[in-house]
Structure 1
Amino acid sequence: MTVTTPKTVPDAPDRKRSLLSRLPIVHQVRQSMGIQRFMLVAGLVVTGLFILTALLAPVIAPYGYSQLRGDDGAFGSQQAPSADHLFGTTVGGYDVLSRTIWGAQTALSVVIVAVILSIFVGVFLGLVSGYFGGWLDRVLVVVCDAIYAFPTLLLAIVMSIAISGGQSSLWGGVFAAAISITVVFIPQYFRVIRAETVRIKSEAYVESAKVVGASNARIIFRHVLRNATRTLPLIFTLNASEAILTLAGLGFLGFGIEPTSAAEWGFDLNKAIVDVSSGVWWTALPPGIAIVLAVLGVTLVGESLNDLADPRLRGRRRVAAASGTVAATSVVPGGAQTAGPAGLGGLESGETFGDDGIETRP
């Protein structure tokens, strides 16, 4: 008679908990420990606030980014912080708090456009170069190395002047900064994807796909691409902070977006230089702190994900917890040593026992 044991189906809360623990960010938080978890959580909180501020700027900003007048008349120039203007007003008469909040929206737009463009172009070139090789691979490697040698900010200035003459509208300035950053970021994605493609194309499942007659396009986009893009989130987070700094550098040097078209932190810092020398501190502090916090949050997330992706950089406590408890036994040439009738204490006192358990003395 055969007895069948019914299969146990996990409860719905357990299934939801297991699915939740496998989400990308939740998995990394559970995997981290100690200072790594603190850095990751702090970076996620700061980055989340930055994204929420950018998305909700029309709701939480008390005024528009180019608004100069309110219900009581003009705001005035270089007004000190008050109930109507928590961070005061700029030399141009704009509300500092409102322009700082709206500046997060501009920075987020540049990050999204620049990183998406560079990912698509860099990943495509890396797949083609690594898979086909030959003269095309050599040419692309040389070109990407040459582009990578250009300074990011210098290239951004050149692209900004070429696209919009140095002063631009919202989307003109966003695309000027995004395209310049894209050109610099492409070699980074190209190198990573090309190296992974060269390694993956020699795997057995790729060779099997070739044997059954799969086309090169199917192999590249169905088999190679899926396994070669696992490290892209790490590069994305590390490059996003550089995109914010490049946009701020353009605005600070006077090649950014016009204040009537959009709010930009670097432009506001440039206009606040004279204010600081005159003792007006409130026009420079908010946009400067916003740049620091945005870059710090994204950098903390990127560095934490990079550490967690490398097993050698994980915390020692995590490794010790995963290794389990080591048994109190020793291995000798004759096999594993076991305790006799007197227990482990007998072994420690110098007494030895034979295979039959009878005590023997030297």
Structure 2
Amino acid sequence: MSTVAPVEESPRTDPARRGWRRLPVVHQLRQSVGLQRGMLVTGLVLTGLFLLTALVAPLLAPYEYNQLRDADGPFGAQQAPSAEHWLGTTVGGYDVLSRVIYGSRTAVMVIVVAIVLSLFAGVLIGLLSGYFGGWLDRVLVVVCDAVYAFPALLLAIVMAIVISGGQSSLFGGILAAAISITVVFIPQYFRVVRAETVRIKGEAFVESARVVGAGHWRIMTRHVLRNATRTLPLILTLNASEAILTLAGLGFLGFGIEPTAAAEWGYDLNKSLSDVTSGIWWTAIFPGAAIVLVVLGLTLVGESLNDLADPRLRSRRAAESGETAETSVVPGGSLGAGPAGLDGIEGRPR
């Protein structure tokens, strides 16, 4: 009697392997080719190092961010890089390396709080405005356009003064900076979500939901929301880099967090202005380099994801490099054969 050997399931048909390959970042990385892949990998590495540094800051920093002395006595102001202080000390006598490392933790806290608040508020009002329309839509559009037209940094300064008087403790300063940035970011999320909601609410699957008796809240949350927010991951990465620059701008202008409450790169740059003219370069170059590298990493990730979300750019770059790239219109999505053009756009399971 002959026996048939079991056929091993290939990676293409293995659901588990297919699952991890469809993860947002992994899927975009597999789509990218050539220079585009190099940009995405570089951005992911810089962003990963930034997040890792913030996570293990107490383990990496040789001293506390507000420490001025050790067992041997005071550190001393404007000390050149040495074995005791690898990046030297500031004009206030703080260790530069420790403040740069702890500054990443402050930046992450502000980014997380600002993006969560602005995402929640912007998506909510954008969904309500686009779905219901009428006088509510007109009022919200006018208000958000007025806020968006106001200079972002000046608006953040005004909000920081109103909230905390310009300076405050660690959590007060983080909350003040985050709320200041939130006010700037809300119109961006509002515009994107409102435009997508206006488009989606006229689709056939939304009309079908109304016919079967679904309420407004169910339609908005189950059918409209998940389809209107597909492009938000692109905005999140770009807004994270803007949050870093806004936080640094507030600190540089003296409206940030007090140095004894937390380490903040913009504040350290402000205090190092007079050092540069005296030939003391280490107090300015390292906080400045930290800002540049973090913003560069986040921007590269955001721009790469934006290119991958555009099938025209992706196809052109794939043709130039001679490689075949998978098709996807949105992060984690794929171009389907259904009537709507996108898998799952009508609420169908993939």
TM-score by length of 1: 0.85
Is 9-18 or 164-173 further displaced after alignment? 9-18
Give percent identity, aligned residues only: 73
Report the AA paired with residue 192 of structure 1.
V
CA distance in 2, matches of 1:15, 1:158: 52
CA distance in 2, matches of 1:167, 1:238: 27
Structure 2 spans left out of the alignment, 5+ residues: 326-350
CA distance in 1, matches of 2:317, 2:165: 56
Deviation at 1:20, TM superposition (A): 2.1
Deviation at 1:59, TM superposition (A): 1.0
User: 1:98-126, CA deviations, whole angstroms, 9 ceiling, x for partnerless residues?
Assistant: 00000000111111111111110010111
Deviation at 1:17, TM superposition (A): 2.9
CA contact (8 A) 1:241 1:299 kept: yes
Deviation at 1:15, TM superposition (A): 4.1
Deviation at 1:10, TM superposition (A): 2.5
Deviation at 1:7, TM superposition (A): 10
Report the AA paired with residue 186 of structure 1.
I
CA contact (8 A) 2:166 2:255 kept: yes
User: 1:11-30, CA deviations, whole angstroms, 9 ceiling, x for partnerless residues?
Assistant: 68944432221111111011
1:145 corresponding residue in structure 2: 145
CA distance in 1, matches of 2:243, 2:85: 30
1:293 corresponding residue in structure 2: 293
CA distance in 1, matches of 2:128, 2:83: 59
Rg bigger for which structure?
1
1:360 corresponding residue in structure 2: none
1:10 corresponding residue in structure 2: 9
Deviation at 1:190, TM superposition (A): 0.6
1:168 corresponding residue in structure 2: 168
1:44 corresponding residue in structure 2: 44
Q: Does 1:75 align with 2:71?
A: no
Which fold has the larger relative contact order, with Cα–Cα distance below 8 Å and residues 6 or more apart in sequence? 2
Relative to structure 1, is the Cα distance of residues 256 and 310 closer, same or farther in structure 2, using a 3 angstrom cutoff? same
CA contact (8 A) 2:36 2:304 kept: yes
1:336 corresponding residue in structure 2: none
CA distance in 1, matches of 2:77, 2:324: 61
CA contact (8 A) 2:156 2:184 kept: no
SS of 1:314's equivalent in the other structure is helix
Report the AA paired with residue 89 of structure 1.
T
Deviation at 1:316, TM superposition (A): 2.9
1:228 corresponding residue in structure 2: 228
SS of 2:282's equivalent in the other structure is coil
Deviation at 1:314, TM superposition (A): 1.4
CA distance in 2, matches of 1:211, 1:317: 44
CA distance in 1, matches of 2:177, 2:156: 6
CA distance in 1, matches of 2:224, 2:61: 46
2:192 corresponding residue in structure 1: 192
CA distance in 1, matches of 2:113, 2:40: 25
CA distance in 2, matches of 1:43, 1:177: 25
CA distance in 2, matches of 1:263, 1:291: 13
Relative to structure 1, is the Cα distance of residues 35 and 322 closer, same or farther in structure 2, using a 3 angstrom cutoff? closer
State how 1:5-154 maps to structure 2 within 5 Å: 10=9, 14-154=14-154
Deviation at 1:312, TM superposition (A): 1.2
CA distance in 1, matches of 2:7, 2:196: 41
Relative to structure 1, is the Cα distance of residues 142 and 10 closer, same or farther in structure 2, using a 3 angstrom cutoff? same
User: 1:148-199, CA deviations, whole angstroms, 9 ceiling, x for partnerless residues?
Assistant: 0111111111111111111211112111111111111111111111111111
State how 1:229-268 maps to structure 2 within 5 Å: 229-268=229-268
CA contact (8 A) 1:126 1:194 kept: yes
User: 1:305-331, CA deviations, whole angstroms, 9 ceiling, x for partnerless residues?
Assistant: 0000001111535256549xxxxxxxx
State the aligned residue count: 320
CA distance in 2, matches of 1:315, 1:252: 43
CA contact (8 A) 1:131 1:197 kept: yes
Is 259-268 or 67-76 further displaced after alignment? 67-76
Is 137-146 or 7-16 further displaced after alignment? 7-16
CA contact (8 A) 2:237 2:301 kept: yes
Is 30-39 or 7-16 further displaced after alignment? 7-16
